[in-house]
Chains A and B, each alone.
Chain A
Amino acid sequence: MVFRMLKKLINKPGNEVREMLEGMSMAFPEIIRLDNQWNNVYRAYKKANKVALVSGGGSGHEPAHAGYVGFGMLDAACAGATFTSPTVPQILASIKEVSTEKGVLVIIKNYSGDVMNFNSAAKIAQSQGIKVDSVIVNDDVAITDRSRRRGTTITVLVHKIAGAGAEEGLELKEVKRLAEKVIENGRDIGVALTPCSVPAAGKPTFELGEDEVEFGIGIHGEPGVQRMKYVESWSFAKMMIDKILDDLKLTPGDEVALIVQGTGGTPYMEKFVFYRDARKYAESLGLKVAVSWVGEFMTSLEMQGGRIAMLRLDEELKRLLMYPAYTIAIRNTGPFISTLVS
């Protein structure tokens, strides 16, 4: 193997998370503000009398999660070190910062570290008199055993839909119901064409042969469930949608949201080719794609590859998915713009 220096646009490895959050809060002071002590990001303007949504996790999945703080989505995001869950005191600080009388919903991705740290923080907050509940997102269909499934892209749809519900003034119980409904009806799967590298480690997290891909890759660059030969975009799209379809038991006529994204290092050209393939295949199976997202939502540093997520929609989920949002990564105008252009 040829050794090569991994070049990244960072300064001292280990400082990249703080410096990234500083950059985000400097660029978008009207949307977020950064905690002085912790790597936590809060809404610039706290909204009282609304259920607060808290999420977070290891960094390296940008725009998750700081990019989703703002109107219609999260109230706080806790950023851990790259690919490492944030700590209990850090999460507790964020819950306390944004809690309201209506309560706090903590949205956790299903990784042992995240579950341990977020649940412990929620428990402590509760013992201190804060109304807290939590949900665990486990949408990665690459893992057969449901309880062990990792949390990936559907987490962002939970932010979006539960966030919209909270914005409309729903109670904690109802916001949680929405979150669970999204988890129940959403699935995701990914493929890696190249590995990624943690800045402080300075080398790729795993190795792939030139003609190999990792199918079912997790969002931390942890190896997937099957190594296979490279095939074309169309074949990947088909394999991935088949996996989701089998598990979600989608049937012709079902309405879905189709989320197609790169894993961090994938050009837009490829993302739209991949979306086209996914969309055509989904429609050939009789699915109705009512909402599409194409971009980067839950990435893995500079990894090249793609993820496909689907959410089965009903009127409630569809409306809340289209509800306005104003965050760094998602700017949803809702019905307003469509009345101007039509």
Chain B
Amino acid sequence: MKSTLNVEDFYNVILEIARLIHENKKYLTDLDSAIGDADHGINMDRGFSVVIDKVGKMDINNSDIGSLLILVSNTLMETVGGAAGPLYGMFFMNMANKAMGKREVDYKEFADMLEDGLKGVQEIGGGTQPGEKTMVDTLYPAINAFKRGVERGDIEGLKEVLLREAENGMKSTINMVAKKGRASYLGERSLGHQDPGATSCYLILKAFYDHM
């Protein structure tokens, strides 16, 4: 039973995120055109294609998880723009904090990193809470369930819990009225549409799931 992630795993996760974002570029943009400004997939794909470029040039054998995530964070902040740039930049930057200098983390440390990442997203979004139809609706339940599992020492099947909670969280945004971001201007009319940010968060957690 795997219960650690090393720098190579993180490297592969980042490449996997980029692949998933690219594959779903149109899907994310379509979701955004229903309730936002029709550019989420375009912006995320622009950012992650530069991330691949930069991460690809890293000497992964002489690097650590924290430095890798900082590079991802800086690249996203520089290239994505919009709100997604700072939000995802903050997510990866906060995740990096406790992983500086480390070449491997166990699930307990990983859960803390995810929790720090979530807090970064909530903070920079102006205190975003679950239920406001944002990225947080995917991240919050998934990360909290994962952390609780780790604390119980319940590693068996835990990555499935992470993915399932992320998916449920993402889908739960369909029945929410947006309170934050561009979709919030629609009020009740945002009902019935899945949030694009919650969806890209799901893809990111899915990439972690694939390498756990």
Whether A222 pairs with B77 at a CB distance below 8 angstroms is: no
Which residues A195-225 have CB closer than 8 A to chain B?
198, 200-201, 203-206, 218, 220-225
Complex Cα spacing A83 to B32, Å: 12
Interface 0/1 of A218-244, CB less than 8 Å to B: 101111110000000000000000000
Are the CB atoms of A201 and B38 closer together than 8 Å? Answer: yes
**0/1 interface trace, chain A 110-139, chain B, CB 8 Å (1 if under):** 011100110010000000000000000000
Binding stretch for chain A, among B9-17, B95-103, B181-189, B198-206: B181-189
Is A24 an interface position by the 8 A CB rule? no
**Minimal beta-carbon separation of B38 from chain A (angstroms):** 4
Taken residue by residue from 156 to 182, chain B's Cβ proximity to chain A (1 for < 8 Å, 0 otherwise) reads as 000000000000000000000000111
Contact of B86 among A90, A113, A142 (CB under 8 A): A113
- The answer to whether B38 touches A113, judged by C-beta atoms less than 8 angstroms apart, is no
B78 in contact (CB, < 8 A): yes
- The segment from B39-47, B111-119, B147-155 found at the interface with A is B39-47
Cα–Cα distance between A200 and B40 once the two chains are bound (Å) = 11
Q: For chain A, what secondary structure do more than half of its interface residues adopt (helix, strand, loop), or is it mixed?
A: loop
Q: How many residues of A contact B (CB 8 A)?
A: 37
Q: In whole Å, how far is A80's beta carbon from the nearest beta carbon of chain B? A: 5
Per-position contact with A for B24-42: 1 when CB-CB < 8 Å, else 0?
0000010001111111001
In the complex, A81 has a CB within 8 A of chain B = yes
Whether the Cβ atoms of A148 and B77 lie closer than 8 Å is no
Interface flag for A176 (CB, 8 Å):
no
Using an 8 Å CB-CB cutoff, how does the interface string of B61-89 with A read, 1 for contact, 0 for none?
Answer: 00000000000000001111111111100
- CB pair B82–A222 under 8 Å, yes or no, is no
The reply to whether A84 and B182 form a contact with Cβ atoms under 8 Å apart is: no
Q: Secondary structure of the B side of the interface?
A: helix
Residue-wise, chain A 85-120 has the 8 Å CB interface mask toward B (1 for contact) of 111111000000000000000000001110011001
A143 part of interface (Cβ distance < 8 Å): yes
User: Nearest chain B CB to A38's CB is how many angstroms away?
Assistant: 10
Interface residues on B, range: 20 to 34
Contacts of B185 in A (CB 8 A): 142-143, 148, 150, 218, 222-225
Q: Could you say which residues of chain A place their CB within 8 Å of the CB of B184?
A: 148
- Chain A min CB distance to B159 (Å): 31
B36 in contact with A198 (CB, 8 Å): no
Structural contact, B39 and A221, CB atoms closer than 8 A: no
B77: chain A residues at CB < 8 Å are: 87-89
Among B36, B82, B83, B187, max chain A CB count under 10 A is at B82
Q: Does B131 contact A (CB under 8 A)?
A: no
Contact across chains for B37 and A225 when beta carbons are under 8 A apart: no
Is B124 at the interface (CB under 8 A from chain A)? yes
Chain A residues, Cβ within 8 Å of B81:
58, 80-81, 84-87, 113, 117
* Shortest Cβ gap from A197 to chain B (Å): 8
Chain B nearest CB from A280 CB (Å) reads 30
CA distance A112 to B85 in the complex (A): 11
Decide: B86 and A198 in contact? CB cutoff 8 A.
no
Is B125 interfacial (CB 8 A cutoff)?
yes
A205 B37 Cβ-Cβ under 8 A: yes
When the two chains form their complex, are residues B39 and A88 in contact, meaning their CB atoms are under 8 A apart? no
* B→A interface (CB under 8 Å): 29, 33-39, 42-43, 46, 77-87, 124-126, 180-182, 184-187, 189
Given A117-B85, A200-B42, 14 more A-B residue pairs with CB atoms under 8 Å apart are A83-B38, A83-B39, A84-B81, A85-B83, A87-B80, A89-B77, A112-B83, A112-B182, A142-B185, A218-B182, A220-B37, A222-B37, A222-B186, A223-B189
